[in-house]
Structure 1
Amino acid sequence: MASMPGTLAFDEYGRPFIIIRDQQNQKRLTGVDALKSHILAGRSIADTLKTSLGPKGLDKMMVSPDGDVTVTNDGATILKLMDVDHEIAKLMVQLSQSQDDEIGDGTTGVVVLAGALLEQAELLLDKGIHPIRIADGFELAAQCAVKHLEKIADSFPVDFTNLEPLIQTAMTTLGSKIVNKCHRQMAEIAVQAVMAVADMEKRDVNFELIKVEGKVGGRLEDTVLVKGVVIDKDFSHPQMPKVLKDVKLAILTCPFEPPKPKTKHKLDVTSVEDYKALRQYEAEKFSEMVQQVKDAGATLAICQWGFDDEANHLLLQRQLPAVRWVGGPEIELIAIATGGRIVPRFEELSADKLGHAGLVRELQFGTTKDRMLVIEECKNSRAVTIFIRGGNKMIIEEAKRSIHDAVCVVRNLVQDNRVVYGGGAAEIACAIATSQEADKISSLEQYAFRAFSDALESVPLALAENSGLSPIHTLTEVKARQVKERNPALGIDCMLKGTSDMKEQHVIESLHSKKQQFVLATQLVKMILKIDDIRSPSDGMSM
């Protein structure tokens, strides 16, 4: 029995059963060793991202196994593309991803904070404090920090007449991105896009109505917001008109082709007459389909499927411009924007199912043969497209990610219009508050409170370091001024503008985003501190 793998136990009838299979082949870490291993993995991920924090943060170049190159400083994107083996490191990746899904911004900051908390937890473990007490202390400290954030938050009314506070917040988000050379323009585009589709009664924003398209060529400054839909297609025939006004669109998901005979048997065309009859039948069918679209009053056909040259020529003859091979998501967006109905069969097409657009035009780019269609002045003007230009594909992809972050931040402000000040100001204020709270606690948790306070300071320290300042000197000076002047808007002057007051510099962050960073980072660290046993096969152990 002793040679059998696993730990044996016996049931009430004396029958043996295995509790843990391959026990002797498992490599196992338990207790403090396991915790130290987790902390090391989490910190190494945070240290990788730390240099990307803030407006002077550095970019990372990620090369996929296929040789695709991505250059970015967006925390969620970096972690998503990293090849991570360790299980705890994978949790850090998920932490950044959940911040991206929920908020859209602060994906680097949340990982840096989690890494700092793990570093502090290690010091407390070395003092002999039990991991559960550390985890509980961190949770209480996070609640204290979130309450303090509520106290120091400012709010502003979100209205269409004064978009400046929203633009300033979007500019803070874009400050660390590749698009910061046309900083203001991108922020304005993000704000206008959100305000165009925002439902102010429900205080919500439907992201489905904001489409982001990119086209290589031109400069980043050529990026525009189109009040309508941009599709990467052109008219099916080069002789069709390039500009259409007051357009009625037939949105079709049925192909311009004769119905196929539904039979399993072969149809042999054995004579010229049969072939001519078949040609005649096809021509009649094409003609009938085009006539049905014309009879409904359509002046443009948007088709999900392709059609052959014969049908294309007939459409040109009948003066019915058409676009073919338009993808499913684009078809849906066109239907939403123009107020049209998607028609699956020609027989169902009628005047009330047509969409309306004031202008449909074809865009041409320089000397290239690239063309795109713009559908503007739509019936439902709430659908918008951000059309990004850039020198190469890499810049456009990074600009798309940057715009996404800015749009998410503006969406958060529509939902909750309270803000805190950036540049590490909010973190320093909360660090001071939690440190003062620690002095009032008589239990062991006071150590965790002070550790949480030290961890919060890691964010302004990283900002100062990335900006080429002396981290400790800068932080100490700002912290002392915050206590003395009782001004929670004092932060790190990353852009060297001569003032540490982030209110003057207009460096604003969403309160919702900052609260979520504190909560998510603390939850993850608490979970990691409760794992005290790792088992994995000894040959495939990735520690």
Structure 2
Amino acid sequence: MAAFPGSIAFDEFGRPFIILRDQENQKRLTGIDALKSHILAAQQIANTIRTSLGPKGLDKMMVSPDGEVTVTNDGATILKMMEVDHEIGKLLVQLSQSQDDEIGDGTTGVVVLAGALLEQAGALLDRGIHPIRIADGFELACQTAVKHLDKIAELFPVSAENTEPLIKVAMTTLGSKIINKCHRQMAEIAVNAVLAVADLEQKDVNFELIKVEGKVGGRLEDTTLVKGVVIDKTMSHPQMPKELKNVKLAILTCPFEPPKPKTKHKLDVTNVEEFKELRQYEQDKFKEMVGLVKKAGATLAICQWGFDDEANHLLLQQQLPAVRWVGGPEIELIAIATGGRIVPRFEELSPDKLGSAGLVRELSFGTTKDHMLVIEECSNSRAVTILVRGGNQMLVAEAKRSLHDALCVVRSLVQEPRVVYGGGAAEIACSLAVAAQADQLASLEQYAFRSFAEALESIPLALAENSGLSAIHALGEVKAKQAATGDSALGIDCMSTGNMNMREQHVIESLKSKRQQLLLATQLVKMILKIDDVRSPNDGQGL
């Protein structure tokens, strides 16, 4: 009873009642008021990123508390960097994050759709429909929409020989990004990177083998795909060779240092001879360590830890090039790429634990004397690195995020090679199918079905608005043509080409991504509609 937030008292007839403590410090919203508060919060967040949707979507500039500036139109990144205090706002942030984790693309669309569904739910609540009936109706409407998506989806050819279709899909994803001025090149890089590590028979893509590394300087067009591993390190000594061929790599997680005694006792050096002995002992240990590495047949040491100048000089004398301070994930990637084993102790080093690479070389950039190390022609040739270049850190970071989206979309097509058409075409087709189904329902859910159909139209409406078109006219025209011809490839002509056929414009999206958007948005809206009581500390809230 200690945690009970009140006390029990009895009236004059002996009937018990509870006195709750600290009620003046509690803020409570119940019933329709709670739902309206949630809907308003979700709408504000959805409207914030609505203008970022589509190829003509605008970017947002996010400034962190320490003054770091990020310019992006990636929905998940914008929401992650927004300081959202409202509980329902946080749920929308998690919604876009789960879409990003699962698919990698469609993070803006899923939040816009969730906001539109909640807006429609608000209108139904005003008409006196119970929130549970609305939630159930949305669930059934979502099932109808997903079935229709499966019906209109087309099989997509995925092969290493003909990469053009995959490049077209990657270009659709990159079309809305800041890097769209060279998005053909970026799309090719993304497709080649995924196909290099993909197992097309098993329909599996190991993302751990793809590393995206950024380096400020140069132009976006200088971005390249390296068949190997690129690490932002250099040889530990400037006089070590800058290029090595047919390399045997020792991958070490033990430092080039004499072992330290694991006791709390101190060692007092009282005269010169003892100091010289200690120095000699250290040198002997260094020589022994270098000797063990050389004996195993290694021609390059990759070390996770640092080593002092003396060890560095000794490595140079013994003609054993080395790289120090290589991070944990990079060490693992090098081990996978070169077929080597990570060795925790010098005594365990043996020839069979060494990795092999055909070429290790240093890249230098411009006049800044910046260097990076490239490990190429590895025994496991599936490991690849995308080296992103750009004029400033902000551009490089956004290019990395854009490439991540493209990589994720190509991966989802390898896993499930079915596509629908973009430009709002799939949403309009589903909207027509759900609206047609609503006319066949006799129950109260028909209202929820019609509202769901209307919410689906928020995506093509936002695309048309962001492209500077008259949104209602553009949507009405496409909807009428789709209803008349039954062609689910007709969408909003964002690029003003005069052709609204997305099949001919090659605006393609993966079925997996579109299906996930519908399911996630509906699940979240259903959950929000079931909340009718909110208790929180009365300290003022806001977005």
TM range (shorter): over 0.9
Give the distance between the partners of 1:15 and 1:444, measured in 2 at CA: 44
The answer to which of 473-482 and 24-33 deviates more is 24-33
Q: Which residue of 2 aligns with 1:328?
A: 328
1:515 aligns with 2:519: no
SS at match of 1:100: helix
Task: Note the C-alpha offset of 1:538.
Answer: 2.4
Contact 1:235 1:321 in 2 (8 A): yes
Q: 1:487 to 1:295 in 2, by over 3 A?
A: same
> Which secondary structure state, in structure 1, belongs to the residue aligned with residue 250 of structure 2?
strand
Count of aligned pairs: 537
Q: What's 1:428 paired with?
A: 428
What is the alpha-carbon distance in structure 1 between the residues aligned to residue 18 and residue 158 of structure 2?
63
Change (3 A) 1:496 1:260: same
Q: How does 1:82-93 map to 2 (within 5 A)?
A: 82-93=82-93
Matched, 1:388 2:388: yes
Verify the 8 A CA contact 2:142 2:522 in the aligned structure 1.
Answer: yes
State the partner residue of 2:378: 378
Residues 538 and 282 of structure 1: CA distance in aligned 2, closer, same or farther (over 3 Å): closer
Instruction: Compare 200-209 and 389-398 and name the one that shifted more.
Output: 200-209
Cα RMSD, aligned residues only:
1.7
Matched, 1:472 2:472: yes
Distance 1:320 1:369 in 2: 23
Residue identity in the other structure for 1:121: A
Deviation of 1:9 after TM superposition, in Å, equals 7.8
CA distance in 2, matches of 1:134, 1:444: 9
Q: Percent identity?
A: 80
Residue deviations 1:264-322, cap 9 Å, x none?
22212222211222222222211111111111111101111111111111111111111
Distance 1:18 1:95 in 2: 39
1:316 maps to what in 2? 316
Q: Please give the secondary structure, in 1, of the residue aligned with 2:306.
A: coil
Provide the residue aligned with 1:344 in structure 2: 344
TM-score normalised by structure 2 residue count: 0.96
2:135 alignment partner in structure 1 = 135
Q: Judging changes above 3 Å, is the alpha-carbon distance between structure 1 residues 15 and 542 closer, same or farther for their aligned structure 2 residues?
A: farther
The alpha carbon displacement at 1:6 in A equals 4.4
Quote how far apart the aligned CAs of 1:18 are.
5.3
The answer as to 2:244 corresponding to 1:244 is: yes
- The CA deviation at 1:382 is 1.2
Contact 1:5 1:24 in 2 (8 A): no
Asked if the contact 2:430/2:453 (under 8 Å) is kept, the reply is yes
TM-score by length of 1: 0.96
**SS at the partner of 1:534?**
strand
Distance in 1, Cα, partners of 2:303 & 2:454 = 60
Q: Which residue of 2 aligns with 1:43?
A: 43
What does 1:209-220 correspond to in 2, within 5 Å? 209-220=209-220
Does the aligned pair in 1 maintain the 2:86–2:541 contact within 8 Å? no
Q: Which residue of the partner structure matches residue 535 of structure 2?
A: 535
Describe the shift of the 1:309–1:23 C-alpha distance in structure 2 as closer, same or farther (beyond 3 A): same
Does the aligned pair in 2 maintain the 1:135–1:526 contact within 8 Å? yes
Q: What corresponds to 1:225 in structure 2? A: 225
Name the structure 2 match of 1:106. Answer: 106
What is residue 417 of structure 2 aligned with on the other side?
417
User: Does 2:116 align with 1:116?
Assistant: yes
Structure 1 unaligned runs (5+)? none
Work out whether residues 85 and 541 of structure 2, in 8 Å CA contact, stay in contact via their aligned partners in 1.
no
Q: Give the Cα separation in 1 of the matches to 2:430 and 2:220.
A: 38
CA gap 1:373/1:435 in 2 versus in 1, 3 angstroms: same
The offset of 1:17, in angstroms, is 8.5
Runs of at least 4 residues off by over 4 Å: 4-10, 14-21
1:7 CA displacement: 7.5
1:169-318 matches, within 5 Å, as 169-318=169-318
Taking structure 1 as reference, are residues 15 and 199 closer, same or farther at Cα in structure 2, changes over 3 Å only?
A: farther
Displacement of 1:355 after TM fit? 0.2
Cα distance in 2 between the residues matched to 1:83 and 1:214? 27
Q: Name the structure 1 match of 2:408.
A: 408
State the alpha-carbon separation in 2 of the partners of residues 132 and 15 from structure 1.
36
Local SS of the residue matching 2:261:
coil
CA distance change for structure 1 residues 496 and 5 in 2, over 3 Å: closer, same or farther? same
- Give 1:157 shift: 2.7
- Secondary structure at the counterpart of residue 178 of structure 1: coil
Question: Is 1:434–1:449's contact at 8 Å kept on the other side of the alignment?
Answer: yes
SS in 1 for 2:179: helix
The 3-state SS of whatever aligns with 1:474 is: helix
Deviation for aligned residue 1:26: 2.3
Give the CA deviation at 1:213: 0.5
Cα-to-partner distance string for 1:382-412 (whole Å, 9 max, x where unaligned): 1111110111110111111111111111111
Superposition deviation, residue 16 in structure 1: 6.6
Work out whether residues 47 and 112 of structure 1, in 8 Å CA contact, stay in contact via their aligned partners in 2.
Answer: yes
**Separation (CA, whole Å) in 2 of partners of 1:526 and 1:20:** 32
> Aligned partner of 1:479: which letter?
K
The 2-side partners of 1:18 and 1:279 are apart by 78
**Are the aligned partners of 1:27 and 1:541 in contact in 2 as well (CA < 8 Å)?**
no
Unmatched segments (≥5 aa) in structure 2: none
Determine if the alignment matches structure 1 residue 502 to structure 2 residue 502: yes
Counterpart of 1:326, as a letter, is V
- Once the 2 structures are TM-superposed, how far is the Cα of residue 59 of structure 1 from its aligned partner? 0.4
| 2:441 partner letter | I
Cα distance change of structure 1 residues 485 and 346 upon mapping to structure 2, 3 Å threshold: same
Q: Distance in 2 between matches of 1:122 and 1:20?
A: 33
Q: Secondary structure at the match of 2:375?
A: strand
Q: Distance between the aligned counterparts of 1:54 and 1:7, measured in 2?
A: 57
- Report how far residue 19 of structure 1 moved: 8.4
- Provide the C-alpha distance between the structure 1 equivalents of 2:150 and 2:20, rounded to a whole number of angstroms: 49
Measure, in 2, the Cα distance between the counterparts of 1:15 and 1:278.
Answer: 86
Q: How does 1:11-50 map to 2 (within 5 A)?
A: 21-50=21-50
CA distance in 1, matches of 2:466, 2:347: 65
The letter of the residue matching 2:124 is L
CA deviation map 1:501-541 (0-9, x unaligned): 00001000000100010111111111111111111222344
The SS at the match of 1:539 is coil
C-alpha displacement of 1:132: 0.9
- Structure 1 residues 101 and 15, CA, compared in 2 at 3 Å: closer, same or farther? farther
Shift of 1:204: 1.4
Offset from partner CA, 1:484-506 (integer Å, 9 cap, x none): 12110000111112210000010
- In 2, are the aligned partners of 1:304 and 1:331 still within 8 Å (CA)? yes
- Report if aligned partners of 2:157, 2:165 keep a CA contact under 8 Å in 1: no
- The 3 A distance-change label for structure 1 pair 312 and 17 is farther
Q: 1:332, 1:376 → 2: CA distance?
A: 16
CA–CA distance in 1 between the matches of 2:263 and 2:77? 51
Compute the displacement of 1:250 (Å): 0.5
Distance 1:165 1:90 in 2: 37
Amino acid at match of 2:101: D
CA contact (8 A) 2:303 2:322 kept: yes
Residue 128 of structure 1: how far off its partner (Å): 1.1
CA distance in 2, matches of 1:492, 1:53: 13
Measure how far apart 1:161 and its partner are. 0.8
> Is 2:65 the partner of 1:65?
yes
Indicate conservation of the 8 Å contact 2:62/2:81, yes or no: yes
The amino acid of 2:397's aligned partner reads E
Taking the aligned partners of 1:380 and 1:64, their CA distance within structure 2 comes to 41
CA distance 1:188–1:8, change in 2 (3 Å): farther
